[in-house]
Chain A
Amino acid sequence: MQKRIGFIFALVTALTLFLCGCVGARTKTLSKTAVAMGSAVTVKLAGEDETQIQEAVDAVIESVQTLDGTVISKNAPSAELYRLNARENPEMKTPVSDELYDALQRTKAIYAHSEGKAALASGALTTLWGIDTEAFRVPSQEEIEAAKALCGDKTVELSEKGFVSFRKGQILNLGSVGKGLACDKGVQTLKNAYFGKGVTGAVISVGGSVATLGSPETGERWTVGIRDPYGTANAYFATLRVGETFLSTSGTYEKQFTENGKTYHHLLDLTTGYPAESTLCSVTVCAAGGLESDALSTLCFLVGEERAREVLELYNAEAVFVYTDKTVHVTAGLRDALTVTDTAYRLEAV
């Protein structure tokens, strides 16, 4: 009997060790979070070669940092956009790099559908409210009126040869699309040197904008949680099962501040000069490009669901709308991908 107990123990132990070994030994996954572009950048890669995964993770983080510091930041003197805004005479046409021109042009094209609520030239108002520097304050009505007059893209000219000009006093701003654009850049970095050459799957997250590439270790779809607007930074109320795509969310919980008992969020409506009044608390957009997902999520929040659905269709994009009463609406293309995990939220058919 003693012997038999010993044998059974040995057998089961061996079996258990074998099974556990199997779980850990296949594809390797490496995840790294760093601070770049003033936000958290997380890169999660799956692949067979550990050294290469490590190198790829660092390359992605580096490319995001470079994009911000040399091209799209409007606050860093080393960046091209900063220098474009700082010119003595912005009405004179100036050539810019292909990378910056492309970002400006794509952003302007999307915001043209915003009924004037969003624009490339939004810097006068966002600077006044302290949104970019997070030195928030509520400006006076006079200040808002003056800044409002300097916002809007009618006076921004992007000519076909890569030249840019705009009215004096205007400030071009890529702040509302920068994180999505960084996702585009990260994906491009991986595709150029690593994806398909040792790296089999990737998830890049730049300050809440997410890009997925390839497939995870298990299965074909990635799982991306949507932040719970009323929970802590790591809480999510729903998940999306997605293939290769780009996701961005605009929510009132991000970059908000309270003054004299009133809470202000960072999503400014350029037609009023104040944070947009809305029954929405967040909109998540799934699109074919990072810049597109980021710009569209801002636009959808500002224009409201009805108009947003029309614009989303133009870009073949999908969205999840979350309202302050915790009802959730989703466009047809994402219905099957969405699972509401928090029972306090109610998915409503529209």
Chain B
Amino acid sequence: MKRKCFSKTDFFLIAAVLLIALAFWLPSLFGNGDVTAEVTVDGETVLKLDLQTIDAPREFPLDNGVVLLAEKQSIRVLSADCPDKLCVQAGALSRAGEVAVCVPNQTVVALHTANGQSEPDAITY
């Protein structure tokens, strides 16, 4: 069998492998790779979740009565005993930089990523 240094099959193989590699690499570049939810009460971290690892919807009741619902790729405040419910109205958080804050309960749910460069650094409101 005559062997070329670089056959057509080789070329396709390299291209295929590179494409697969790129598919894994791109998401990490554009932010939505490893989104971690960090929950703090009175400044103390009470919960840290890698949202990619959540397979089925799961509730997290906190000691102060705030209940969180984590699903694959997102987390929300399901219920809280505060009067305004602004934390519940914040809805499902899925992108790095998003936060839900319950001021009366001193509770913050914040999403972080190691490389969330596609999200704004802050939001003015």
Contacts and interface: CB of A to CB of B under 8 A. Distances in A.
Interface in A7-59: 8-9, 12-13, 15-16, 19-20, 23-24, 31-35, 38-40, 42, 44
Interface stretch (B23-31, B46-54, B55-63, B65-73): B23-31
Nearest to A44: B121
A152 interface: no
A33 B110 contact: yes
Contact of A249 (B42, B99, B125): B125
Contacts of A236: 120, 123
Contact of A233 (B89, B107, B112, B124): B89
Given A16-B21, A31-B110, A234-B93, A226 B101 contact: no
Interface in A213-262: 216-218, 222-227, 232-234, 236, 239, 247-249, 251, 253-254
Contact of A234 (B14, B18, B123): B123
B89 A222 contact: no
A284 B124 contact: yes
A4 B10 contact: yes
Contact of A224 (B14, B99, B124): B124
A338 to B, nearest CB: 12
Contacts of B110: 31-33, 42
Contacts of B122: 42, 44, 203, 205, 210, 212, 222, 224-225
Interface residues of A, number: 51
Given A12-B18, A234-B98, A227 B123 contact: yes
A232 B91 CA distance: 7
Nearest to B93: A234
Contacts of A344: none
Interface in A175-232: 203, 205, 208-210, 212, 216-218, 222-227, 232
Contact of A216 (B83, B97, B121): B121
A24 B28 CA distance: 10
Contacts of A24: 114-115
A210 B103 CA distance: 19
A5 interface: yes
Contacts of A232: 89-91
A31 B21 contact: no
Nearest to A31: B112
B103 A38 contact: yes
- Max chain A C-beta neighbours (<10 A), residue from B91, B93, B121: B121
A233 B97 CA distance: 12
B103 to A, nearest CB: 6
Contacts of B112: 31
A135 to B, nearest CB: 9
Contact of A20 (B10, B28, B103, B106): B28
A143 interface: no
Interface in B62-100: 83-84, 86, 89-91, 93, 95, 97-100
Interface in A264-320: 284
25 contacts: A16-B21, A23-B28, A34-B40, A35-B43, A35-B101, A39-B103, A40-B101, A42-B122, A205-B122, A205-B123, A208-B125, A210-B123, A216-B121, A222-B121, A225-B123, A226-B125, A232-B89, A232-B91, A233-B100, A234-B91, A234-B95, A234-B98, A239-B120, A248-B124, A284-B124
Please provide the 5 A-B residue pairs with the shortest distance between their CB atoms, ordered closest to farther: A227-B125, A208-B125, A225-B120, A40-B101, A225-B123
